[in-house]
Chains A and B, each alone.
Chain A
Amino acid sequence: MFMEQLSNGIALGSIYALTAIGFTMVYGIIRLINFVHGDIYMMGAFFALTGLTVLGLPLIPSFLLGMIGASIVGVLLAKFAYSPVFKAPRINLLLCAIGAAIFLENFAMLVWGPETQSFPTLIENKTYSIFGFKATTLQLIILGVSIALVLILTYIVKYTKLGRAMRCTSQDMEAAKLMGINTNRVVYFTFMIGSSLGAAAGVLVGMYYKAAYPMMGFTAGLKAFVSAVIGGIGNIPGAMLGGLIMGVSESLGAAYISSGYRDAIAFIILIFILLVKPSGILGKSVKEKV
C-alpha cells in the first residue's frame, strides 16, 4: 500500500509542480501572486475537453489545444488586466488578479455550464509494477509529460536568449531595461509559458480524475501557491520540489492519517516551513550589500 500511495503522490506532486512553476515564474518577474493561475489551469482542461468532445480531435492535438488556448488567455490577461496597472501599487495588481479569476470562473460556467463534465477515457489504465513500485499507465504519463515539460522549460530558461532575458528581468527589471531588454515582451512571454504549463497540469488532472468543472482551479491554485512558497517563491526548482513534497505528503497523509485531512496537510506543511525557513526550502533570504 505504501508503494501505491507513493506513486499516487508522485503523480499528484508532478501536477502540483507544473502548476506551481507557472505561479512562481510570474511572481519572479512581476512580484504578483497570480490568483488567476488556478483558473488558467481550469481553462486548459476545458479547452482540451472541447478539443476531444466537440471537435473530435485525438488526444495529443487536444492536449496542445488546451496549452495553447490557455496561454493565449494568460497573455490576454497580462495585456488587458495587468499591464494597465503595472506601475500602480502592487495591491491594485493583486485585486486585478482576483477580479480576473472571478471573470474566468464565470466565463467557464457560461460557456461550458456549471456542472462537472466527464473526460472521455482515452487510455487504457493498466497497473505496472516495477521494483515494488506500483504505477498506472496514467500516472506514468503524468510523470513523463511533467518531466518532458520541465526539461524544455529548463532549456529555455538556461540556454536561450529569451531565457537569459527572463532571468535578468526577474533579478532586476530596471537593470534589464538598461541592457536593452524589452521587458514587456519578457513579461508576456512569462505569462505564456507559465499559463501553458498550468494548462498542461489542468489537462493531466482532467484525464486522471476524468472530470473538469469550472471551480476545479480554486484549490489547485491555492496548492500551487503553497508549493511555490514551500520551495521558495520565484525559484523554479523550488516550485518543483515544493509540488512533489506536497503531492507525496498529501497522498501518504490521506492514506495513513485520514483522508479528511487531505487538503489540510498542505497548509500544515506550509505553516511548518514558514516557521522554520520563511524564504522557502530553496529560497534565498534577501541580503543587501551596500
Chain B
Amino acid sequence: MLHVKELDVYYGGIHALRGISFDIEEGKIVTLIGGNGAGKTTTLRTISGLVTPKEGTIKFKNQNLLKIPSEKIVGQGVVQVPEGRRIFVELNVEENLMMGAYLRRDKQVIDEDLEYVYKIFPRLKERRRQMGGTLSGGEQQMLAIGRAIMSKPRLLMLDEPSMGLAPIIVEEIFECIKYLNDNGLTVLLVEQNANIALQLADVGYVIETGEIAFSGEAKSLLKDDRVRKAYLGEE
C-alpha cells in the first residue's frame, strides 16, 4: 500500500534520514521503533509532505506522494496524528473533530463518522462543547485520533501516541488502534515504547540514526536479543 524507498532527508546540514526504505501492506499494523532523534518523526513528516526529502520515493497506491502538497496528501487518505497531539486548543471538541473532515463534502457520511468517533470515545461526546485545551492528555490524544478518523484515512499514521500518558490510558488508546485495525484500517505506528508497539503490530522496523537497523515480524522482534537489550531494557 505504501512503499518508501531510499529516503534521504537533511535538516540544514544534518543528515536526518539516510536511505530509509520500508513497505506497508494493506490491513496491517506496521511500527517504527527507535530512540530519541533516530528519525521516526522525520519519516512521518516526510510522508505527510511537511518535509521535502533530498532523495527517494514515497508511493501510496502507485501514486507518488512527493509530487503532491501536504494538504492534498490528506485527501488521498494518508492521515497523520502528529506527535504531541497538536489539537486546536481554542476550538471545542466537536469543532476539532469537524476540522478533520475539512476536505470532505459528503455531509451525511460525515455525521455518521462523527457518531462512530463518539462510539469509540464516549468521553469525547460528553465533552463535545469543551475547549480542546481544557482536556486531559489522554482525552487530547483521543481527540487527535478521532480528528484523524474524520479525515477518512486509508493509512493512519500515529506519532508516539503513548507519549506522556498514564499506562492505563496508553492501554485504552492501543485497544482503540487495534479496534480500528480490526475494522480494516492500515496503521503506521511510531513509538519509543517498543514493548507495547511490538505487541500490537504485525511488522516492526527498528530505526537507528536515520537508518533501518533491522526489521522483521513484530512477534519475532520481541524475542530478538538486539531489541531486548536496546529497547526493552533487558540484559
> Measuring CB to CB, which residues of chain A are less than 8 angstroms from any residue of chain B?
161, 164-165, 167-168, 171-172, 174-175, 177-183, 289-290
Given contacts A289-B137, A290-B164, contact A177 B70 (CB under 8 A): yes
Determine whether the beta carbon of A180 is less than 8 Å from that of B151: yes
Question: Which of A165, A175, A181 lies in contact with B82, CB distance below 8 A?
Answer: A175
Given contacts A171-B90, A175-B86, A175-B88, contact A181 B71 (CB under 8 A): yes
A181 partner residues in chain B, CB cutoff 8 A: 71, 102
B71 partner residues in chain A, CB cutoff 8 A: 177, 180-183
> What would be 12 A-B contacts, judged by CB atoms less than 8 Å apart?
A164-B99, A168-B88, A171-B91, A178-B50, A178-B70, A178-B74, A178-B80, A179-B103, A179-B147, A180-B74, A180-B102, A180-B103
Determine whether the beta carbon of A178 is less than 8 Å from that of B91: no
A164 partner residues in chain B, CB cutoff 8 A: 91, 95, 99, 102
Q: Give the docked Cα–Cα distance between A289 and B164 (Å).
A: 10
Q: Which 8 A-B residue pairings sit nearest by Cβ, starting from the closest?
A: A180-B74, A175-B86, A180-B103, A177-B70, A180-B71, A182-B71, A179-B102, A179-B99
Q: Give the docked Cα–Cα distance between A171 and B86 (Å).
A: 9
> Measuring CB to CB, which residues of chain B are less than 8 angstroms from any residue of chain A?
48-50, 69-72, 74-75, 79-80, 82, 86-91, 95, 99-100, 102-103, 133, 137, 147, 151, 164
A289 partner residues in chain B, CB cutoff 8 A: 133, 137
Additional pairs, 19, CB under 8 Å, beyond known A168-B99, A178-B86: A172-B86, A174-B50, A174-B82, A175-B86, A175-B87, A177-B48, A177-B49, A178-B79, A179-B99, A179-B100, A179-B103, A180-B72, A180-B74, A180-B75, A180-B103, A182-B71, A183-B71, A289-B133, A290-B164
Determine whether the beta carbon of B137 is less than 8 Å from that of A167: no
Q: Give the docked Cα–Cα distance between A183 and B86 (Å).
A: 16
Q: Give the docked Cα–Cα distance between A171 and B89 (Å).
A: 8
Question: Which of A165, A171, A174 lies in contact with B102, CB distance below 8 A?
Answer: A165
B72 partner residues in chain A, CB cutoff 8 A: 180
Determine whether the beta carbon of A179 is less than 8 Å from that of B74: yes
Q: Give the docked Cα–Cα distance between A178 and B86 (Å).
A: 10
Given contacts A164-B99, A180-B75, A182-B71, contact A172 B80 (CB under 8 A): no
B89 partner residues in chain A, CB cutoff 8 A: 171
* Nearest opposing residue in chain B for A172, CB measure: B86
B100 partner residues in chain A, CB cutoff 8 A: 179
Q: Give the docked Cα–Cα distance between A161 and B104 (Å).
A: 12
Q: Give the docked Cα–Cα distance between A44 and B70 (Å).
A: 35
Determine whether the beta carbon of B90 is less than 8 Å from that of A179: no
Q: Nearest Cβ in chain A — how far from B190, in angstroms? A: 14
Determine whether the beta carbon of B103 is less than 8 Å from that of A172: no
* Nearest opposing residue in chain B for A185, CB measure: B71
* Nearest opposing residue in chain A for B73, CB measure: A180
Q: Give the docked Cα–Cα distance between A85 and B80 (Å).
A: 27
Determine whether the beta carbon of A167 is less than 8 Å from that of B88: yes
A179 partner residues in chain B, CB cutoff 8 A: 74, 99-100, 102-103, 147, 151
Q: Give the docked Cα–Cα distance between A162 and B90 (Å).
A: 16
* Nearest opposing residue in chain B for A175, CB measure: B86
* Nearest opposing residue in chain A for B79, CB measure: A178
Q: Give the docked Cα–Cα distance between A257 and B100 (Å).
A: 55
Q: Nearest Cβ in chain A — how far from B217, in angstroms? A: 30
A178 partner residues in chain B, CB cutoff 8 A: 48, 50, 70, 74, 79-80, 82, 86
Q: Nearest Cβ in chain B — how far from A218, in angstroms? A: 33
B75 partner residues in chain A, CB cutoff 8 A: 180
Q: Give the docked Cα–Cα distance between A180 and B88 (Å).
A: 14
Q: Nearest Cβ in chain A — how far from B69, in angstroms? A: 8
* Nearest opposing residue in chain B for A161, CB measure: B102
Determine whether the beta carbon of B91 is less than 8 Å from that of A177: no
Q: Nearest Cβ in chain B — how far from A181, in angstroms? A: 6
